[in-house]
Chains A and B, each alone.
Chain A
Amino acid sequence: MEQKRKERLDRGIKVRSDTIYALMSVKEIAYLVLPRLVLICGLLIAPLVMPSMYWQRVISIVCIYCLLAISFDFLAHFVGLVSLGGAFFIGVGSYLAAILNTYWGLSPVLTIPLATIFGALICTILLLPCLPLRGVYFAIVTLMYPLALARIIEALDIFGGTDGIMGVTSFPGRWVELYFMVGMVLIFLFGMRRLVNEDIGLVFRAVKDNDQAVRASGMNVTFFKAIGVCIASAMGCLGGACLVHIYMWAGISQFALDFSILPIAATVIGGAGTLVGPVIGCIILVPISELLRTFGTLRIVFYSLILVGFIVFRSEGLMVYGQRKYHQFERWVRV
């Protein structure tokens, strides 16, 4: 019997545009620039074409999930720490921003950067004890913190207790809010892509590949893991701080596990280890979850079905699949 197998070859334009020859012609430049331009322009135009204020608000929420998903992808696939701590980062960031805003009366211009920096430091310090360990411990501890913090706030009745902190200042306007969020996603997306290819990014990837060899190279593995966690939690806390100013309220629902789970689902369907993939995953998943609200309680069922569909039919992730189609052509060859 004649057997055939699929052969994949890099397109000529892909090979040419890997090197300095990329600058040879408009076609090659376009080959490199277009996909990025589509994403950037798409994100910038999206707020303008949304039919209602409700859908504009959805874009802000998408952006917050995007930040979380980039942070998850970075930690899991470039530092080697599987984090379930999206809710932890969001919660810490949002409570910090709300406290700074209502107790000290700082404006969002100050609360957002302060909550980002100090939130990242607080998260890193709290997670420090489990960083020297390998394995599942980091995931468990990041899952435990948001649950514990929510119960502590509830039990001790601090920071407004179950009512939360009300009366937080909102963004100066909805366009400021939208374009600030979109801008942050783009900055962090391209910034992180750059970072993982810098020398320090290579050290992060080395920690993931082989931490013993990094120790043998005279470097403190725990220290580099801590820096990685700090960068990732900064993104999460930024998202939390923005969320507080969007909703004008901070409460224990910001420790909800949605913030931990959805970014992971987005990473899975978008393509793990690509950084862009998780963003695309969020752009797909969050609006779907909004659309499904019409189904009431059946929402979760449909949501799960869509997720399972993605996992069964495109388990590699949309971005990995798309990149392959873009860079390579396939043909059947006789074995």
Chain B
Amino acid sequence: MSGEPILDVREVTKAFGGILALNRVSLKVFPGEILGVIGPNGSGKTTLVNCITGFIRMTSGKVLFKGKDISRKPAHKIADLGLTRTFQIMRPYYSLPAYKNLVIPLFSPRARRTGGWRGGGKLGDRDTVGIDILEEIGFERDSFVPYKLASSLPTGYLKRLELARCLALKPQMIICDEVFSGLSMSEIASMVPIIERLRMDGITLLMIEHRLRELFRVANRVIVLNFGEKIMEGTPEQVMNDEKVKEAYFGSEEVEEVMKHA
């Protein structure tokens, strides 16, 4: 990879009391690529996302987004710069219909500034933009699904709603925290093309995943975390064949299954 990285994570460390959740993790994400982050349970993947996006303060280290230091910035400022995230445990606004969920990000300063959406002004405009985005992400426009309350939507649609909330901000980079987890095979099958289209639209992606097979299909590079440390970085093939990675995942059937298919 060449050129300037869009996201540069330098030796990020996070300690919860005496436990090192992240120990000097560094990574670079380059514009237009999909970087996968994998690791066994408790290896610090979500903590890494929280540190990068400002939802928790890192103990030490530095994060540069587009060359700008964001390591001490609050979460909403980081989202405002164009680095958005999804939540592993979905966080929709349950009391609002699905399309009204998107009125909130469309009301944000960034969405109004970038203006690509017809965000400002007339009553109802944000509603139609919201439905447009939902259609893009796989809600059937003519059905009643976009109008249902978020509390009555199934997991698959809630994951899409998470992505849609990011897209409404017109981000340059999205960090996806396990968008495939909890989905059925057919739901994943319809999710993969959406991810690929996001990349074609020029959005850089950092994907945290447990579903290795689907991740390896879309990712350019993969980073492996174990016990808060980066143990491997490389292409999906290199990672799959690495001894240390096999050791970290020892006993995990999923890796063995992926290896068999590879």
Q: Which residues of A contact B (CB under 8 A)?
A: 198-200, 202-203, 205-206, 208-210, 212-221
Contacts and interface: CB of A to CB of B under 8 A. Distances in A.
B169 A217 contact: yes
B191 to A, nearest CB: 20
B25 interface: no
B104 A206 contact: yes
The interface residues of chain A, by DSSP majority, are classed as helix
A218 B110 contact: yes
A199 B103 contact: yes
A202 B104 contact: yes
Given A210-B92, A210-B93, A213-B91, A202 B103 contact: yes
Contact of B109 (A199, A205, A218): A218
28 contacts: A202-B96, A202-B103, A203-B107, A205-B96, A206-B93, A206-B101, A208-B95, A210-B92, A210-B93, A210-B94, A212-B91, A213-B87, A213-B91, A213-B104, A213-B165, A214-B104, A215-B74, A216-B165, A217-B104, A217-B105, A217-B108, A217-B169, A218-B76, A218-B77, A218-B79, A218-B111, A218-B169, A220-B76
* Max chain A C-beta neighbours (<10 A), residue from B75, B80, B165: B75
A209 B91 CA distance: 9
A64 B237 CA distance: 71
Contacts of B230: none
Contact of B107 (A212, A213, A219): A219
Interface in B164-185: 165-166, 168-169
A205 B93 CA distance: 8
Contacts of A217: 76, 79, 84, 104-105, 108, 165, 168-169
A317 B105 CA distance: 33
A220 B73 CA distance: 12
B107 A216 contact: no
Interface string B58-102: 000000000000000011110110001101000111111000110
Contact of A202 (B75, B84, B85, B100): B100
B89 to A, nearest CB: 10
Nearest to A221: B76
A58 to B, nearest CB: 36
A214 B76 CA distance: 8
A126 B85 CA distance: 34
A215 B83 CA distance: 12
A275 B44 CA distance: 45
Contacts of B169: 217-218
A215 B55 contact: yes
A208 B104 CA distance: 12
B23 interface: no
A300 to B, nearest CB: 36
A205 B95 contact: yes
B166 to A, nearest CB: 8
B126 interface: yes
A131 to B, nearest CB: 14
Given A209-B95, A216-B75, A218-B111, 18 more contacts: A199-B107, A202-B96, A203-B103, A203-B104, A206-B101, A209-B92, A209-B96, A213-B91, A213-B92, A214-B76, A215-B79, A216-B55, A216-B79, A216-B84, A217-B76, A218-B109, A219-B108, A219-B109
B160 to A, nearest CB: 15
